[in-house]
Homo-oligomer: A and B are copies of this chain.
Amino acid sequence: MWLKTSCDLSFNIEVPTPFVLMLRPRSGAQQWIASEQYKLAPSVPAFEFTDGYGNLCQRLVAQPGYFSIHTRAEAKTADFLDQAPGAPFVEIQNLPDAVLNYLLPSRYCESDRFGQLALEITYGQFLGYDQVAAIENWLRTNISYTPGANDIQVTAIEINTRQWGVCRDMAHLGIALCRSLSIPARMVVGYLYGLQPMDLHAWFEAYIGDRWYTFDATQPCLRGGYVAIGYGRDAADVAVYNQFGPGVYPSSQVVSVEQISESTIGN
């Protein structure tokens, strides 16, 4: 499936404000980025670097006044994401070094507190993919998905207590449960075709067998149309923008994802 994604952010800036942006999708396992646009208005110098998770980030200082960021991409995504029922748990000693980081608790995923619950949820499951699928299903059943609820960021513990959350929250609880079973799990932020209401989306991946698999408890079943932008331990790592200092006024954020025909790519 070919998709055209866009994200437009705008800010009222009061004092010169440093930003770190993470808005560039990269070609990878199940997506190919055929084209990208990136526009800053007004234009300011920007410096690009790769963070510790492999994300492409841009640093810049926005000047006082109106400031906006416009990104577009044309991407080919899988029609159906890979699934692997029965894929086995990887023993810790066999995990790649770079994956170990995704076993540790993090800001919004207190995996050190979920061992008992994770065992209950996955009782009787074959170790590995089936455990994560059980966690995903448990989230669908037990946590009420409330898109658009514009609350402050809360952690997996709080989500488990209040039993509702936005996409980010569903992912955080899923990640915490996986890690408590020694299954590496990470947060993904990106686009999803057909998301209602349309916005940036978040889901999670778990490392099983010898690769990462996608899970998303906000959807009734796993389908295609995902475009990943950034990866991290949790939402603290994958903010599409971080701004520093005071004086940034309510921003607008407009996101769209349309299906396009391959023949129009690059026109």
Contact = CB atoms under 8 A, between A and B. Distances in A.
A125 to B, nearest CB: 17
A37 interface: yes
A28 interface: yes
A259 interface: no
A60 B246 CA distance: 42
A223 interface: no
Nearest to A112: B153
Contacts of A36: 35-37
Given A112-B153, A182-B244, A236-B106, A48 B20 contact: no
Nearest to A78: B45
A214 interface: no
Contact of A107 (B50, B58, B110): B110
A124 B177 CA distance: 44
Contacts of A109: 107
B39 A266 contact: yes
B52 A101 contact: yes
A131 B30 CA distance: 35
Quickly give the copy total for this chain: 4
A93 interface: yes
A54 interface: yes
The bracket for how many chain A residues form the interface is 35 or more
Interface string A84-113: 000000011100011011011111011010
B105 A236 contact: yes
A112 B235 CA distance: 12
Interface in A216-242: 236-237, 242
Nearest to A18: B92
Contacts of A121: none
> When A and B form their complex, which 3 residue pairs have the shortest distance between CB atoms, in order from nearest?
A18-B92, A35-B37, A49-B97
Given A27-B46, A36-B36, A43-B76, 20 more contacts: A27-B38, A29-B47, A32-B46, A35-B36, A35-B37, A39-B265, A39-B266, A49-B54, A50-B50, A51-B97, A52-B98, A52-B101, A59-B100, A61-B93, A72-B266, A104-B107, A105-B236, A106-B106, A107-B109, A112-B153
